[in-house]
A = this chain, B = another copy of it.
Amino acid sequence: MAGTDRTRARVEEDGPQITLVGPQLGENIGASARAMLNCGLTNMVLVSPREPWPNEKAAKMSSGASEVLDRARLFDGIGAAVGGLNHVYAATTRTRDKTQRVVTPRRAAEEMRRAMAAGEPVGILFGPERSGLTNEDLQHADTVISVPLNPSYTSLNLAQAVLIIGYEWFHAGAAVEPEVLLMHATRPANKEELGFFLARLERELDAAGFFHVEDMRPTMVRNLRTIFQRANLTEQDVRTLHGVVAALVRQRSR
């Protein structure tokens, strides 16, 4: 089920959820709000900002974009912040030693337009100013957005990263045909449903002694999450996978 017409209209109007993970300085939150509004984006989410919120320096820096700050929502974990989304992107300049889908901002913008036109909420994660997103943060994303810039000098600040990705979003315009993914009586799973399944899988694997080398656990968990993130699961798929796990585990009690 795609959203209702009203949900869809609101989702498209606000644009992707710009999710600032652990932003350090209020000024940068304010500057990001300006960058967002320049691009017609108004849906800001803050995950554990370092400074208290609301923040005066953010307000001061946002000049004219207070409507974005006023509506910003606060969460203390990425999981909760992206729970209602169908697709999560992560903006990063570093490459990682893991297998993950990587797209340019332009490609991401087209994909996001298409998803949102179908009523599927989308979000983008931006990491803290100095350190960027951790590998753990990246587990919440389906796709990495890598901004093509001079490889020997990349010094984008937070608001600039928001600006470039937002610019591509705005540029892509609303006139993108929704991609017809054949979904019969189903819809894309949201992150909460996916997270619920992954947690169950990990629990069962734990009980089965799968993580017998404790040092390897984080890597194994990440690999598993990545596999199922990449699959673009529908809500029906997630139910099927629950059935699979249940069936395999049930054998034990026979």
A150 contacts B251, C-beta separation under 8 Å: no
Q: Which of A103-162 contact B (CB under 8 A)?
A: 103-104, 106-107, 146-150, 153-156, 160
Interface string of A11-42 (1 = CB under 8 A from B): 00000000000000000000000110111100
Query: Do B99 and A234 touch across chains, with their CB atoms under 8 A apart?
Result: yes
Whether a CB of chain B sits under 8 angstroms from the CB of A178 is: yes
Q: How large is the interface on A (under 10, 10 to 19, 20 to 34, 35 or more residues)?
A: 35 or more
Please tell me if the beta carbons of B38 and A150 are within 8 angstroms of each other in the complex: yes
> Do A99 and B248 have beta carbons less than 8 Å apart?
no
A180 CB contacts on chain B under 8 angstroms: 102, 146
Does A96 have its Cβ within 8 Å of any Cβ on chain B?
yes
| Residues in B whose Cβ lies below 8 Å from that of A250 | 208-209
From A1-9, A70-78, A81-89, A239-247, give the one contacting chain B.
A239-247
Among B95, B153, B182, the residue within 8 A (CB) of A102 is: B182
Q: How far is the CA of A170 from the CA of B104 in the complex (A)?
A: 13
Using Cβ atoms and an 8 Å threshold, which residues of chain B touch A156? 38
A99 near B245: Cβ-Cβ < 8 Å: no
Q: A38-B154, A38-B155 are in contact. Are A231 and B234 (CB under 8 A)?
A: no
Interface-forming stretch among A43-51, A52-60, A219-227?
A: A219-227
